[in-house]
């Protein structure tokens, strides 16, 4: 029996990235130290960043620029260039080495014996490449590693037609697993594949989408739970 293909997301599926964004926002709120409380500042920054996410997607500069814009709007009368530099310096913290989830290696050791593994990650190429290079020991698990600018139905279909089709006879033998309904679930369901959503801490933008019923995919709280599901697929 031929192995099925397991397409695995990276950010906030294998390693933690959103935690750094959340901490950066807390540090940002302390830097600007205005009349608004931390919760209100972060809420304002989140709303602005979500709007900009629709236009700029995963561009490296988007998040920090959203924080600077938030500061400029909330402190238009007492804008301090020194604080602006402190805010921009948060970029180094956000894009420092990401920490693997505790269940990542265990899951990959399980999955490599049952599936053909493909790493399928999106975002700024240099950032994604660095995160992959930070964990060279993970390369051995994957038959292919793809870094793309943005995940979509088109990229899922093209990846299947150009690469995955040589391993399986139909998209039904492909399973996508990740933390984003927008990026990891819908594109693959649209081409006929199966999908598992891992409920990790995620950027709200990733799950702000309508038109897909939860019954169409499986939801798990961790990769360990996903392993139990995959044992029956």
- Supply the pTM of this predicted model: 0.90
pLDDT at 93 over 90: yes
For the domain 18-94, what is the CATH code? 1.10.150
Six-digit token pair at 81? 């260039």
* 3-class SS of residue 4: strand
Question: Bigger pLDDT: 35 or 155?
Answer: 155
Q: Where are the domains of the chain?
A: 4-16+98-230, 18-94
- The string of DSSP letters for 153-215 reads HHHHHHHHHHTGGGT-SSGGGEEEEES-IIIIIHHHHHTT-EEEEE-----GGGG---S--GG
Q: Determine whether domain 4-16+98-230 maps to CATH 3.40.1190.20.
A: no
* Measured CA distances, 212 to 7, 126, 188, 216 (Å): 19, 32, 12, 7
Could you tell me if 15 and 179 are in contact, meaning their C-beta atoms sit under 8 angstroms apart? Answer: no
Assign 46 a pLDDT band (cuts: 50, 70, 90).
Answer: very high
* Bridge partner residues of 196 (DSSP): 177, 218
Region 24-33 average pLDDT = 94
Region 67-78 average pLDDT = 93
Region 37-66 average pLDDT = 90
Tokens 């292919």 belong to residue: 144
């Amino acid at each position: 029996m031929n192995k099925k293909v397991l397409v695995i997301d990276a950010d906030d599926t294998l390693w933690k990235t959103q935690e750094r964004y959340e901490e950066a926002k807390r540090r940002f709120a302390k830097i600007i130290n205005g009349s608004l409380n931390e919760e209100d500042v972060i809420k304002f920054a989140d709303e602005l960043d979500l709007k900009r996410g629709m236009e700029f997607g995963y561009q490296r500069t988007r998040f920090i620029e959203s924080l600077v814009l938030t500061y400029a709007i909330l402190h238009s009368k007492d804008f301090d260039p020194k604080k602006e530099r402190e805010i921009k310096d948060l970029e180094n913290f956000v894009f420092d080495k990401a920490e693997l989830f505790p269940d990542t290696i265990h899951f990959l050791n399980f999955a490599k014996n049952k599936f053909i593994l493909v790493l399928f990650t999106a975002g700024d190429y240099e950032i994604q490449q660095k995160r992959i290079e930070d964990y060279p020991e993970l390369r051995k698990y994957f038959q292919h590693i793809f870094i793309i600018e943005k995940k979509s139905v088109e990229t899922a279909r093209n990846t299947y037609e150009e690469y995955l089709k040589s391993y399986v006879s139909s998209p039904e033998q492909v399973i996508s697993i990740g933390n984003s309904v927008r990026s990891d679930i819908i594109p693959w369901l649209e081409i006929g594949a199966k999908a598992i959503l891992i409920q990790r801490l995620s950027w709200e933008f990733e799950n702000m989408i309508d038109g897909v019923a939860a019954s169409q995919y499986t939801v798990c709280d961790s990769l360990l739970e996903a392993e139990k599901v995959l044992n029956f697929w």
